Structure 1
Amino acid sequence: MAELNTTPEKSGNKTRSKKAAVKVDLTAMVDLAFLLITFFMLTTSLTKPKAMELNMPVGDVSDPVGESRTMTICLGKDNKAMYYLGLADKPLIAPAVTNYSGSGLRHAILETRKYVQQTTGKAMIVIIKPAESSVYGNLVNTLDEMKITDVQQFAIADIAAKDINLLKENQAF
């Protein structure tokens, strides 16, 4: 650190007088800084967290959902998803493996929704079943596809043994 030399210096015949070191009191500056910080903290609006709306059924479900309008999406490994329409034992649309691109899962959802609308005249319901080998990002991508394709009714469920067997048959588990 530099030091202020306060001893008189002789330069030729002249002697310089001693000057006192300059001290600056920063107390007022610190007070002002804390006041400004407090002011901006209190007046700044914080961002509100964005969350997906979640609707839960109330009581017992008295109106069972037909298998002809239920699409099941099973999330597998290596960014693969398997989908089918109906039950795993006797699917109306055979199980197929796809990826998470626009021409993959999104296209499958749109085509299946069109098929369900034509055959039943009702809206499609999607059941999402993540497997143990899937990653969380794939679940988020699938939920994003539900929003993009405007699927109104969907649920996340535990994967069944029949679905795991189908994933294994299609090398996606």
Structure 2
Amino acid sequence: MAEVIAQEKQGGSKQRKKLIRVDMTPMVDLGFLLITFFMFTTNFTKPNVMDLGLPAKDPNHRPNDKVIDVKNQVTFILGKDNRVFYHQSSKEDLNTGNLKETNFSGINITKIISEAYNNAPNKENFTIIIEPTDDANYKNFVDVLDNIAISKKERYGVTDIKPWEKKVYEELTQ
């Protein structure tokens, strides 16, 4: 660890000067251990968490096979290049004429949701359906969820795009 070296001074006096040499190897080891400890215990970025309002499980609930009427729902299809389409059509009625496009402006999506809600025959069953395609990005998905929260509608679902919707979507994006 430390070493004392006795050295005689040259010259006339007989005074001895002691030089102390400290070995710094253990201190360097301790420094690396501290650096490693702080690197492993520090959070560099905080995780971002988004609250999804999921319903509680009801033990007495039985599955319901009722299909939501097309006038009681609005479906948003999130596409590539920040494009969003919406419709209120059934499988048989959907075509390129009634699959409409809008943008991610909060005013537009909230307005579409409000209009669909006001025209719904059964307002307590009004549902918003979000169908992201494989080309959609996460930011657009979050934007739609934010607009749903702004419009204060609690019934929404996220599902895969159906084949008949994908066919019409691809016709529009070609």
Shorter-chain-normalised TM-score: which range? 0.5 to 0.7
TM-score in terms of structure 1 length: 0.63
Question: Is residue 84 of structure 2 the alignment partner of residue 81 of structure 1?
Answer: yes
Partner of 1:106 in structure 2? 110
1:23-172 map, 5 Å: 51-55=51-55, 58-61=61-64, 63-90=66-93, 94-116=98-120, 119-171=121-173
Alpha-carbon contact 1:100-1:106 (below 8 Å) kept: no
| Residue ranges of structure 1 left out of the alignment (5+ in a row) | 42-46
- CA shift, 1:115, in A, is 2.9
Paired residues, number: 150
CA shift in 2, pair 1:106/1:121, >3 Å: closer
Q: 1:9 Cα deviation (Å)?
A: 5.9
Shift of the alpha carbon at 1:151? 1.6
Cα 1:78/1:20, change in 2 over 3 Å: same
Consecutive aligned runs of 4 or more in structure 1 exceeding 4 Å deviation: 5-10, 12-17
Output the CA distance in 2 between the equivalents of 1:102 and 1:169: 26
Q: Within 2, Cα distance between the matches of 1:145 and 1:17?
A: 84
Question: 1:60/1:95 Cα in 2 relative to 1: closer, same or farther (>3 Å)?
Answer: same
Distance 1:6 1:111 in 2: 95
Please report how far the alpha carbon of residue 121 of structure 1 lies from its aligned counterpart in structure 2 after TM superposition: 4.3
Identity among equivalent pairs (%): 20
